[in-house]
Chain A
């Protein structure tokens, strides 16, 4: 079965702390895409990153970084020097190739960054 698990329901940190959001996925397929989306309090879903299953290179974008490890089926997201504006719900998502491109989401992790 295809599944995305975000075990952390809610995380609270103080501004400037680093924080890692975990994502574990399950798929029988060798070809798939992984995504992270951010949902701020305003409610829209904002795309952050896409990674295909052939590309295990970690990625850094400003204060954001992503660690993709196929060996552990994980695609973790780290925010360095967190800011109050990072407060949001973050979703990890998966598309696998024999699905008709269904994009399925984890349950989300609510991040609260306190000043």
Chain B
């Protein structure tokens, strides 16, 4: 598997424009995360999907941000309109939750580690 694939790798846009970031998770993974990394705030979880359903979007900064996962192999994070303070590196990650959420055995079953894409560096000028 090629790993988590994000596109574009770099994006420079003008303030007010719409930006769409794309992510292809690892095949077979059922959880997908979008993170934002800045010097000031570190790695922040924006939204988390499980089986294509948004489970927790409490980290999404404001209504200008939206995320979708129309199928198991694709997700988008959209910013409209973009602002300079949105400049950051945006990471997508995927993992496999098995067995169902809420269970870890002593043998260590449960959620696997999250594999990260290479990130999209967004600059809003």
Contacts and interface: CB of A to CB of B under 8 A. Distances in A.
Given A55-B108, A108-B42, A97 B102 contact: yes
Interface of B is mostly: strand
Interface size class of A (residues with CB under 8 A): 20 to 34
A101 B113 contact: no
B113 A102 contact: no
A35 to B, nearest CB: 6
Given A54-B106, A100-B48, A47 B97 contact: no
B56 A100 contact: yes
Interface of A is mostly: loop
B29 to A, nearest CB: 12
Interface residues of B, number: 31
Contact of A103 (B45, B89, B106): B45
Interface of B: 31, 33, 42-43, 45, 48, 50, 55-56, 89, 91, 93, 95, 97, 101-102, 104-106, 108, 110-119, 121
Contact of A35 (B50, B56, B113): B113
Interface centre among B43, B91, B106, B111 (most CB of A within 10 A): B43
Interface of A: 31, 33, 35, 37, 43-47, 50, 52-55, 91, 95, 97-108
B110 A52 contact: yes
A55 B31 CA distance: 24
Contacts of B48: 100-102
